[in-house]
Chain A
Amino acid sequence: MKHLLSASDLTRDDAVSLLDTAAELASVTDRAVKKLPTLRGRTVANLFFEDSTRTRLSFEAAAKRLSADVITFTAKGSSVSKGETLKDTALTLEAMGAQVIVLRHHASGAAQRLAQSGWIEASVINAGDGTHEHPTQALLDAYTLRQHLREGAGDLEGLSVVIVGDILHSRVARSNVALLTTLGARVTLVAPPTLVPVGVQTWPCEVSFDLDEALVGADAVMMLRVQTERMTAAYFPSVHEYSRRYGLDSARAARMPDHAVVLHPGPMNRGMEITAEVADGPRALIVDQVANGVSVRMAVLYHVLSSQEGAP
């Protein structure tokens, strides 16, 4: 695995092996010395053209726990405002010794372009490209589901997962549909018709417009943020109507099976797609997701960097 560009590039064995590695790496967090020497002398560059809290901090923590050096680039306050291109920025980072570039970009396909253009030798990890993919988010979601519903081992065969909200603009939904179905889960997307992407019938999942019906028998529900910053039109009449029909409140959550869990990739709009009671309630694994993100990204960095020389 030289690059990680799309969750659909992972086979079931690849994905399970990444999750297993992450599970062992998670124990480092409980030790007195929270560091492994594995990537000593390697350099990881975080190249973030779009705002991010969780993903950037998580990759930074993951790289540092594996003793890699980290260079962080954010577009704000950089020469991007002077017109510097993705190519030149990446070449600059590579010239500074980066062997892995963790890329977040507002354009769908940016990670693929960077990896396959021949501009650079470094590995590329997609940390979110436009509305396309966010594979490490899908991995940490799969890890969290496995931890709570499958005793932390194996795949997700037979789980029923409902993903609700702004599917149209969601790279998290795309990556999760690919990865969760690869791992054997059944995925149902629920959204207002205006926020369902064209071509969704070719995805390996079901689509519903009725949240209450979809939640019957669901093992997990993943609430997505309504991405107003990417919206160029009015997709629903009002926030109130949206949260009435597609938001998760205590009453809806109470109708889910007892074991069912609630995920949200963050950042949350409390009161819109999820109420504060549910977000802070016993079913919510939102804080677990953040903690697991570090372990999963450690596993991805280890797999990518240990694949660079010699081995496949």
Chain B
Amino acid sequence: MTAARILDADDVGRVIGRIAHEILEKSRGASDVILLGIPSRGVPLARRIADRMTSIEGHVVPVGSLDVTMYRDDIGLRGPRPLSRTDIPAEGIDDAIVVLVDDVLFSGRTVRAALDAVNDIGRPRAVRLAVLVDRGHRELPIRADHVGKNLPTSLAESVQVHLVETDGVDEVLLGSQGRS
């Protein structure tokens, strides 16, 4: 399988910087913003965006993780999946602006599950979505507020996001086959 590199390490760094600025601009500073990464790769992405926001604004932006496995709509179709950690900042999410962070936006089903999971944890003032790559092919009426890279794909192609924390390198690859 051949794979084209769509974003390299420098591109990923710039994209994260832009998303951090966009979130700050939209929320006028970040006094009530909480970032929740969706495992696996949404978690390091959220942490990096939060670090960038913290260094720009000078106060700490809380960041956590939100596992959505038990909220998926395909339980029983794919067998048991390992669960990841859900780690909500101690102050909770009530009345905050929650920004969900994921690596790839595809069918939208993961985000649908994440919205249900958020609902069980608290009542945020608003929920927004930031993704590194939007590859299209939505199956639900869901869109992202902050997109690193819009990447038109065919269903036969695969999009792979690699991050230093999980894969040793920052890059986004577009492969010619397989669903990802």
A interface residues (Cβ-Cβ under 8 A, vs B) = 1, 17, 20-21, 24-25, 27, 31-33, 35-39, 66, 302-303, 305-312
Contacts and interface: CB of A to CB of B under 8 A. Distances in A.
A303 B78 contact: no
Contacts of B71: 36-38
Contact of B75 (A1, A27, A306): A306
Which of B76, B84, B86 has the largest number of chain A CB atoms within 10 A? Answer: B76
Contacts of A33: 120-121
Contact of B67 (A24, A32, A309, A312): A24
B141 interface: no
Contacts of B86: 24, 27
B75 A38 contact: yes
Interface of B: 67, 70-71, 75-86, 116, 120-122
B120 A35 contact: yes
Contacts, number: 62
B81 to A, nearest CB: 8
Given A37-B70, A305-B75, A306-B76, A25 B83 contact: yes
A35 B121 CA distance: 10
Contacts of A21: 80, 82-83
18 contacts: A1-B80, A17-B80, A24-B84, A24-B86, A31-B120, A32-B122, A37-B71, A38-B70, A38-B71, A39-B75, A305-B75, A306-B75, A306-B76, A306-B79, A306-B80, A307-B79, A308-B76, A310-B77
Given A20-B83, A35-B120, 18 more contacts: A17-B82, A21-B80, A21-B82, A24-B67, A24-B85, A24-B86, A31-B121, A32-B122, A33-B121, A36-B71, A38-B70, A66-B70, A305-B75, A307-B80, A310-B76, A310-B77, A311-B76, A311-B79
Contacts of A36: 70-71, 120
B83 A305 contact: no
A37 B75 CA distance: 11
Contacts of B120: 31-33, 35-36
A312 B85 CA distance: 24
A302 to B, nearest CB: 6
Nearest to A308: B76
Contact of A309 (B76, B81, B82, B85): B76
B37 to A, nearest CB: 16
Contacts of B84: 24
Contacts of B116: 37
B115 to A, nearest CB: 12
B87 to A, nearest CB: 9
List the 3 closest pairs (A to B, CB-CB), nearest first: A311-B79, A24-B83, A33-B120
B70 A310 contact: no
A312 B83 contact: no
A189 B85 CA distance: 37
B76 A302 contact: no
A111 to B, nearest CB: 20
Nearest to B85: A24
A88 B85 CA distance: 43
Nearest to A67: B70
A306 B72 CA distance: 11
A20 B84 CA distance: 9
A21 B116 CA distance: 20
A186 to B, nearest CB: 28
Given A21-B82, A21-B83, A24-B86, A311 B77 contact: yes
